[in-house]
Structure 1
Amino acid sequence: MSETAYTISASLLLGLPILAFFVLWLGGKNLNKPAGWIGAFITAIGLATSIYFADIETLHTVKMNWALIGQTNIELSFRFDELTLIMLIIVHFVAFLVQIYSMSYLHGDQNLHRYFAFIQLFLFSMVGIVLAGNLLVMYIFWELVGLSSYLLIGFWYFKPRAVWAAQKAFVLNRIGDAAFLTGILMLFYYIGSTDFEMLATSIQSLEPGILTGIGLCLFGGCMGKSAQFPLSGWLPDAMEGPTPVSALIHAATMVAAGIFLLARISFLLTPEAQIVIACIGTITMVIGAVKATQVWDIKRVLAYSTMSQLGLMVIAVGLGSWRTALFHLATHAFFKAGLFLSAGSVIHAVTPSEDDETFDPQDMRTMGGLRKYLPITFICFVICSSALAGLPFFSGFLSKDAIIVEAFFWAEKHGAWAYFFPVIIMVSAGVTAYYMTRQVWLIFLGEKRYQIFKSVHPHESPVTMWGPMALLAALSVFIWFSWNPFDASYGWFLELVGAEEFGHILWVPFAATGVTVLSIFLAFKETKAEDPFSMYAGNSKNSIPLLKQLAGLNEFSRENFFIKSFAFISAGLMQFEAKIVNSFVDGVAKWSVVMAHVLSWGDRNIVDGGVKLTVFTIKSAGQGVRGLQNGRIQSYYLVTALGVVLLVLWLMIL
């Protein structure tokens, strides 16, 4: 296929969603009804275009001159390769299902045109990142993804927490983006280009320390977008947006951008940079997994889970295996999107028929026993949970196993201390199985705690909601990625991304499965306790009416946590300002006054005095000479005679 064809492909993939954005946004509420179908149709065209122009054998590039700065030519560059193909299909497919799902989930919303317009802007931005042929083009679309996420998270702008969450995501991402931009500027300075092909052949000219700094700066962009420690705080709060938005952000678009970036720049990462990246990923993975065991909001559990899984992908990149990281990104996209859409189905099912301020439809403590009323949602949720937990015969098992195997191979080369990474990955996988079992039990099993709320009547979601869920659940089974349910090296994915030397350790699947099964057993053992998972915070089971207060308490605890956190930071900053900043400013002001007086004295007595002395000297000399110029002839004779005498004396002395 000619290069011209790929120019057409890039134009379609980028042009259609941005055109749809303007049409839906400017069309107003008149387009509320067809907005979902328009968005889904445009996304389907993008998916078909991605598949039709797929060519994994050859690298195709599309370049256009943009600007000339001095001797540096800035190009708009786009590329099509195997990474592009994988990401284009995942992004378009998940976005298509999310939009189909959203038409029912947000049915009746007065701003559907704006919602689907923002999704198209999001899709345009993400496709731009995937197609980018250089880091500068990627950065342009990188910032547009940040804008899109801000708009979608804060879609319900009349809710203060949604606005706050959007602002938090925007600000924290800007911090990471500043580091990303610094890395791009350093590449411009040292190499003069950010084109991936040119960088691959030019980085040998850089000193290792400079290259490590550039790699870590570029990783800063990943820390923001993919919610890595310490910039991970925005991700759980992004749940304030509509649930389909959470599925889109967590599965295929925003958070995946950071991992995709690392895959693109893997050749830039020095061993020192990789160690730092692996450590950051480990911290993020552990924090996310532990936090997921402590929260009660159905979506926040999944949000912390995403944070943990992203940490796992970052670890894989840090251990030099970006291919297994991308493999886990692909499997995670399907089962995590399925989990979020299933969570949305649960929220939709238990939302009260009448306004009830005491009921929180996202608090798992007010659920239980929903399996009977939501059979399809239950099956989809269990399948996707099994994939996330890493149980055999599911896709998540294959991708996690691949990362663990690569971690053990890496540890063999680096000594005993390096075994910390594969061990902590396996322990974290066990924690994942624990909190997903906890979530399944709290939602679908046990007693029906929602029955004390008379306005709650659980019911299964319509086919436009459970259809996408069922498809994503089906894609979470191992068969789509490998014929062997215990070994990903037999699968097409790793072969597609060029992992020819991928190995396998026979005992790893059994050890990983053992840890997972043990964690599930411990979780089910906890369900037999008098107060399972400390649902009632120390109260007896007879105090179940207190569930009516849990929604308010849960909201209070979240608000209290964040308010206290920010109040503590604010108090510290206030003390810093009062004792350090103000003292510094006051000291500068006082010394400025002192110096002003010193300079004033110097100006009066030295500068002005010098000028006055010079004037006085010249004036006195002038007056003395003027006395001789009095117009009397005898005075002139006297001066002449005196001059002759002095001249004779001077000649005699010589």
Structure 2
Amino acid sequence: MPETSGLLPVYSLLIFPFAAFLLLWLSGRRFNAVAGWVGASITLVGLLLLLLQPSPEVVQVLDYPWLRIGDRVIALTLRFDSLGYLMLVVVHFVALLVQVYSTSYLKQDPHLHRYFAFIQLFLFSMLGIVLSGNLLLMYIFWELVGLSSYLLIGFWYQKPKPVWAAQKAFVLNRIGDAAFLTGILLLIYYTGSTDLDSLTYSVATIPPAMMTVIGICLFGGCMGKSAQFPLSGWLPDAMEGPTPVSALIHAATMVAAGIFLLARIVFLLTPDAQLFIVIIGSITMVIGAVQAMFAWDIKRVLAFSTMSQLGLMVAAVGLGSWQMAIFHLVTHAFFKAGLFLSAGSVIHAMHADAPFDPQDMRNMGGLRRKLPITFICYTLCAASLAGLPFFSGFLSKDAIITEGFLNASNLGQIGILFPVLILMAAGLTAFYMFRQVWLVFFGKPRYEASAHPHESSMAMWLPMVLLTVLSFFWWFSLHPFDAGHGWFLKYLGLTDSVHLAWVPWVASSVSALALLMGYLQTVKTNPFGLRHKDDKGLQWPSWLRDYSETAYFIKPFETVFIMAAACERRIIDGLVNLLSKATVVGAHLIAWWDRLIVDGLVHMLAGGLRQLGNGVRSLQNGKIQSYFLVTATGMVLLLLWLFLVL
């Protein structure tokens, strides 16, 4: 059972960023000059508080009874444990470097106070997710993260594209969040609690089929936040926000929240739910890698790469090893944040007066001499992403591939397919990262003469260097080809991991073959299709393309909506229109029957009686001859009646 002690870190870690958000938001533009350093300082205080924590392995829990429904008490719980401690350190560290970087990258922006206030709000929301001890409280912070990301992606609201991208991210995430909330409500219905500790004991009371449904619903939250197919369409377009925001949200925090959620609820996942998860993760991993091979925007390549790597982490959870997923989450946080910040350095250096796209890699080339520090950082972080030996990315990918082959039999006959797909995606990653590094830093300069590339300031390249240094293997294991005996996996509680000696060699061979294919492209007359300037990249079939330039929703959902609209227009509206027309025709027929038949009979009877009355009245005219005629006629009729009857 968890222990309750030392609650000051739990309180303060949430109080600091929220107080910073209020301070920076209310201070206004007059605070622009120091807003970044104030935000970075407060984040540094939180990081130091974590690093000075004497015993992070001690579980600290704070329960607050929130409401009572019948006999059930719904509590909001804060939880501080070893997994949360690791995530808190990563989030604080990356957020600190991003804010330092932003002080230089966005120093000319007139709304810096608002930018750093949104970062603090985002940090507060992300810390809330990590510190949540039950799923209900996590959902509350989950929605705050969605709001914060909406504000940061759409920070440049004067431009239409960032606003559109922010709206798209917000809408698509709500779809996944609806599934997440459904899973939470089902847990409350069946167990009366969403507390993570309580669920470990009460989960056995839920029927297995319903447990699978609940697990898939909870995974829906991950599909939205961690950009899994088919809810991955928001991530590439979110690159419309400031580049440091991309490094913060899409490398180490928001997209990592889904993986962290899976690590927290792994005991709720049945084998069927795990199979569903590994299938979705594998689809996302392959699609993201293929799309990255054909993109020309430097940030969009990294966004597709993030999709692919998140799919790899999700697949790791589905394969039965959340520890390996967290391992890759941490290594990915460092080298991907380094790549985004380095990409920002390139974009910052490429800005010129001439109207050309500074993010299009076809407008770059030969920048390694102009940007030596950026070139080194970018290349080393790319090598880690590509899974080359002696880098952290190699260790974490190798660990996931190993677990895939070890656990393949648990997934049935198709189980062996998933580690093979991971190997293939690793090869594609090596290819598209070689392509990107060559297009940006090698070959002849292709940028406009008005551009004068130059190295970034120290406030920008120092965070890049720190993240690059953390992309090497020795921070996680002293053995460059085996992470199983390193401190990191032992910290996560994995003490009996198995190492397959042939996996590193196979993975290295696949990456080497991909690099060779990339090099062979560079010696062609038209390497990577550079001369086709009007090429917009790979055009997916309309039913598979996962983002749209004109709609918020991904193509599969858009197709469903189009079909639903056609069904409503042609079938539902058609039935309604047919019913209304039939009703009108029926009403006319009833009116005709009422007017001609019903009213006609009434009028005929009334007219006949009126005519008969007039006739009888005409005989009462005071003339004696008329009375004789009536008497004679009556006598004749009487005699006739007697004759006929008798």
* TM-score category, normalised to shorter length: 0.7 to 0.9
Question: Does 2:318 align with 1:318?
Answer: yes
- As a proportion of its length, which structure holds more helix? 1
**Kept in 1: contact 2:3–2:59 (CA 8 A):** no
Tell me which moved more, 137-146 or 404-413: 404-413
Give distance in 2, aligned partners of 1:59 and 1:323. 18
> Pick from 403, 414, 417: which aligns with 2:400?
403
Displacement after TM superposition at 1:375 (Å)? 0.4
Residues 148-187 of structure 1 aligned to structure 2 (within 5 Å): 148-187=148-187
Q: Secondary structure at the match of 2:46?
A: helix
**Kept in 2: contact 1:389–1:429 (CA 8 A):** yes
Question: Does 2:583 align with 1:586?
Answer: no
**Kept in 1: contact 2:29–2:111 (CA 8 A):** yes
**Kept in 2: contact 1:368–1:446 (CA 8 A):** yes
Matched residue, 1:43: 43
Matched residue, 2:375: 378
Question: Does 2:526 align with 1:531?
Answer: yes
Question: Does 2:487 align with 1:492?
Answer: yes
Matched residue, 2:611: none
Label 1:20 to 1:560 Cα distance change in 2 as closer, same or farther (>3 A).
closer
Give distance in 2, aligned partners of 1:409 and 1:596. 74
Matched residue, 1:647: none
Letter in 2 for 1:457: H
Give distance in 1, aligned partners of 2:209 and 2:73. 27
Residues 237-252 of structure 1 aligned to structure 2 (within 5 Å): 237-252=237-252
Q: Secondary structure at the match of 2:67?
A: strand
Letter in 2 for 1:175: I
Give distance in 1, aligned partners of 2:586 and 2:325. 62
Question: Does 2:364 align with 1:367?
Answer: yes
Q: Secondary structure at the match of 2:415?
A: helix
**Kept in 2: contact 1:54–1:85 (CA 8 A):** no
Q: Secondary structure at the match of 1:407?
A: helix
**Kept in 2: contact 1:17–1:123 (CA 8 A):** yes
User: Residues 372-405 of structure 1: CA distance to partner in whole angstroms, max 9, x if unpaired?
Assistant: 0100000000110000000000000000000000
> Pick from 383, 387, 390: which aligns with 2:384?
387
Question: Does 2:476 align with 1:476?
Answer: no
Give distance in 2, aligned partners of 1:54 and 1:420. 44
Tell me which moved more, 343-352 or 491-500: 491-500
Give distance in 1, aligned partners of 2:280 and 2:92. 30
Displacement after TM superposition at 1:201 (Å)? 0.7
User: Residues 430-472 of structure 1: CA distance to partner in whole angstroms, max 9, x if unpaired?
Assistant: 000000000000000001111xx22100000000000000000
Q: Indicate the structure (1 or 2) with the bigger Cα radius of gyration.
A: 2
User: What is the number of equivalent residue pairs in this alignment?
Assistant: 585
Residues 300-379 of structure 1 aligned to structure 2 (within 5 Å): 300-352=300-352, 354=353, 356-357=354-355, 359-379=356-376
Displacement after TM superposition at 1:19 (Å)? 1.1
Letter in 1 for 2:94: V
Label 1:571 to 1:404 Cα distance change in 2 as closer, same or farther (>3 A).
closer
Q: Secondary structure at the match of 1:181?
A: helix
Residues 10-21 of structure 1 aligned to structure 2 (within 5 Å): 10-21=10-21
**Kept in 2: contact 1:363–1:551 (CA 8 A):** no
Q: Secondary structure at the match of 1:447?
A: coil
Give distance in 1, aligned partners of 2:547 and 2:133. 45
Give distance in 1, aligned partners of 2:388 and 2:503. 13
Give distance in 1, aligned partners of 2:546 and 2:262. 35
Give distance in 1, aligned partners of 2:586 and 2:265. 54
Displacement after TM superposition at 1:598 (Å)? 11
Unaligned 5+ segments in structure 1 are 538-546, 604-654
Letter in 2 for 1:446: G
Displacement after TM superposition at 1:74 (Å)? 1.8
Matched residue, 1:619: none
Matched residue, 2:134: 134
Give distance in 2, aligned partners of 1:145 and 1:68. 27
Give distance in 1, aligned partners of 2:39 and 2:74. 33
Question: Does 2:560 align with 1:563?
Answer: no
Displacement after TM superposition at 1:57 (Å)? 3.4
Displacement after TM superposition at 1:263 (Å)? 0.2
Letter in 2 for 1:173: N
**Percent of aligned positions with the same letter in both sequences?**
61
Matched residue, 2:459: 464
Give distance in 2, aligned partners of 1:219 and 1:10. 27
Letter in 1 for 2:89: I
Matched residue, 1:429: 426
Letter in 2 for 1:60: Q
Unaligned 5+ segments in structure 2 are 540-544, 595-646
Give distance in 1, aligned partners of 2:84 and 2:588. 69
Displacement after TM superposition at 1:587 (Å)? 3.6
User: Residues 545-601 of structure 1: CA distance to partner in whole angstroms, max 9, x if unpaired?
Assistant: xx6x8899x9xxx99962399898586665444313421332453466689899999
Displacement after TM superposition at 1:55 (Å)? 2.8
Label 1:322 to 1:595 Cα distance change in 2 as closer, same or farther (>3 A).
farther
Letter in 2 for 1:525: L
**TM-score after normalising by structure 1:** 0.85
Give distance in 1, aligned partners of 2:261 and 2:578. 47
What's the Cα RMSD here? 2.7
Matched residue, 1:613: none
Letter in 2 for 1:363: D
Give distance in 2, aligned partners of 1:241 and 1:258. 21
Displacement after TM superposition at 1:492 (Å)? 1.0
Displacement after TM superposition at 1:56 (Å)? 4.1
Matched residue, 2:226: 226
Give distance in 2, aligned partners of 1:576 and 1:325. 42
Give distance in 2, aligned partners of 1:322 and 1:153. 29
User: Residues 489-529 of structure 1: CA distance to partner in whole angstroms, max 9, x if unpaired?
Assistant: 12111111111221100000000000001100100110111
Question: Does 2:146 align with 1:146?
Answer: yes
Q: Secondary structure at the match of 2:28?
A: helix
Letter in 2 for 1:579: R
**Kept in 2: contact 1:389–1:433 (CA 8 A):** yes
Matched residue, 1:284: 284
Question: Does 2:441 align with 1:444?
Answer: yes
Residues 77-116 of structure 1 aligned to structure 2 (within 5 Å): 77-116=77-116
Displacement after TM superposition at 1:416 (Å)? 4.7
Label 1:263 to 1:597 Cα distance change in 2 as closer, same or farther (>3 A).
farther
**Kept in 2: contact 1:229–1:280 (CA 8 A):** yes
Displacement after TM superposition at 1:70 (Å)? 2.2
Residues 495-514 of structure 1 aligned to structure 2 (within 5 Å): 495-514=490-509
**Kept in 1: contact 2:230–2:546 (CA 8 A):** no
Give distance in 1, aligned partners of 2:548 and 2:56. 49
Give distance in 2, aligned partners of 1:494 and 1:457. 46
Give distance in 1, aligned partners of 2:150 and 2:54. 32
Tell me which moved more, 246-255 or 294-303: 246-255
Label 1:439 to 1:46 Cα distance change in 2 as closer, same or farther (>3 A).
same
Displacement after TM superposition at 1:26 (Å)? 1.2
Matched residue, 2:626: none
Matched residue, 1:614: none
